[in-house]
Amino acid sequence: MDRPPWASLLALGLAWGWTGLALPPAGQGLELRGATVFQRAPWRVDLVSYTTTVGQPRAEYFFTVDLAEDAGASLGELQIRQTSGVDRQFQFSPERTEAFLGRPRQRGLAVPVQASFSQRERLVSVRFPEPVQPGSTVTVRLKPWTNPDVAGTYLFQVTAMPAGPNPTPAPVGFGTLRIYERDWR
């Protein structure tokens, strides 16, 4: 007999004596002690950039996340944090941030976003006022003014937040961006 995707989580919660576990109405996320959680969180991020030279203007970084059909909650926000890289001064433009369904060069419908950037925390927060539904692939396009001024490998940690009250963060993975020196030949 097939069990619903939340049944294993329910059994685990009961075994551990959790209280406050609320079963989700159709189409809503699972709530555990008043927090919204993914039943099956996104587990991988793809980072693509077609501009990879030091200081190159009009840079674009595409972060793509697949949300499983049985995610159990819509995607409410992505947090993208630079965790590694020599140049920590390059600026992101939250007002130029965009999102769409699909992948880079296979762009689908636009997805509305509200973005903010914290230079101190090296964090771009991308909120989806109309949450991205399970079964969707969404790409966020960040547009710094230029690529970093220092060649190297830059790592970005991506965290997904389910749509709903008190969302529980789900680590998605790291995106790797390699920035190369100019070839002066």
Q: What distances in angstroms separate CA 140 from CA 17, 22, 47, 136, 171, one per listed residue?
A: 39, 31, 10, 13, 16
**How much is the pTM?**
0.82
Number of domains in the chain: 1
14 within a domain of the structure (yes/no): no
20 within a domain of the structure (yes/no): no
Exposure of 10 in the CB half-sphere (CA atoms within 13 A): 9
Percent of the chain with pLDDT over 70: 81
Could you tell me the CATH number of the domain that includes residue 113? Answer: 2.60.40.1290
Residues sharing a CB contact under 8 Å with residue 53, sequence separation 6 or more, in sequence order: 147, 179, 180, 181, 182
Q: Taking Cα atoms as reference points, which of 41, 56, 68, 94 lies closest to residue 177? A: 56
142 within a domain of the structure (yes/no): yes
32 within a domain of the structure (yes/no): no
23 within a domain of the structure (yes/no): no
3 within a domain of the structure (yes/no): no
Of 36-50, 80-94, 130-144, minimum mean pLDDT range: 80-94
Between these two residues, 89 and 169, which has the higher pLDDT value?
Answer: 169
Residue 94: count other Cβ atoms within 10 Å of its Cβ. Answer: 17
Q: Taking Cα atoms as reference points, which of 106, 107, 73, 79 lies closest to residue 92? A: 79
Question: ∠155-102-148 over CA atoms, to 5°?
Answer: 30
Highest mean pLDDT among 21-35, 75-89, 163-177: 163-177
Strand, helix or coil for residue 12: helix
Say if CB 71 and CB 133 are below 8 A apart: no
136 within a domain of the structure (yes/no): yes
Write out the two tokens for 130. Answer: 């109309």
Rounded-to-integer distance, Cα 64 and Cα 43, Å: 11
Residue 77: count other Cβ atoms within 10 Å of its Cβ. Answer: 20
What confidence tens digit (pLDDT) does each residue in 89-144 have?
777 889 999 999 999 999 999 999 999 999 889 999 999 999 999 999 999 999 99
16 within a domain of the structure (yes/no): no
The domain in which residue 74 lies consists of: 40-179
